[in-house]
Structure 1
């Protein structure tokens, strides 16, 4: 087998592993490790074609891994932001004490679909800056091995025009520089 054929086979197996990891729900760690491993293999293959200098090859490999890791982290933030927006959307129209269900099915299935309940515990401000403190649950359905359970969290949401947005400082929240 030639070096090119071996590289093509490795690349094909890496792509197959990446596709498989994307196809399964709740495969966040497999997705992350698959993407980073694939980048490492791809970076090594590119480096071997570009240079014979070990330092340059190492730099290419590290750059590919860093880019893959940044891409994985970005996609995870998008999934978290979508979940937070779903909760904020359900909480926005509620009065203090009102309860509503929330749910999300991710179009990019690196995390399981989620659901729960949300209530408004207090109005933080009204008028030009309309914000609420919420308490929400993430409900886990009963399985053959585990009873149903809920985990509870506190957060803040604020009105942004017609929409309600997550306002708590979380990894999926956009950063405000030195203000956070």
Structure 2
């Protein structure tokens, strides 16, 4: 082969290389972009996974702290309720002592029982009247009146007896 043919062949080869090179560069750039994108996605997923694990650890720590706080609050509440119950029992005992020192033998509960007994006697009176037992009906009516009078005297005594601020409404 002649030297000018070599030169022509080299020129043609050079032109083919210049034509093919942009395609090869574009292909290489596209492959590099895809690999970089995939690597970036993988790194991002790894970062998110680590953040999620850290958030789960923090959440678990907060849950244990919340359980400790709830347990402490429950213990404090139980202690306070026990203390309140003890104080209420002490108050009731002291009020009973005060009532025993006043010389009053009857209480509000006794008054309520007397009123209930009077109502029962009136019911018996009405029943006996309906059964045409006038003598027993009159006796039941008289007993109901006597019990009512006794309840009124107890009520008056309860109202005049000084009571503590906690039982003022209960006393009368």
Superposed pair shares fold, TM > 0.5: no
Which of the pair is proportionally richer in strand?
Answer: 1
Please say which structure displays the higher CA radius of gyration.
2
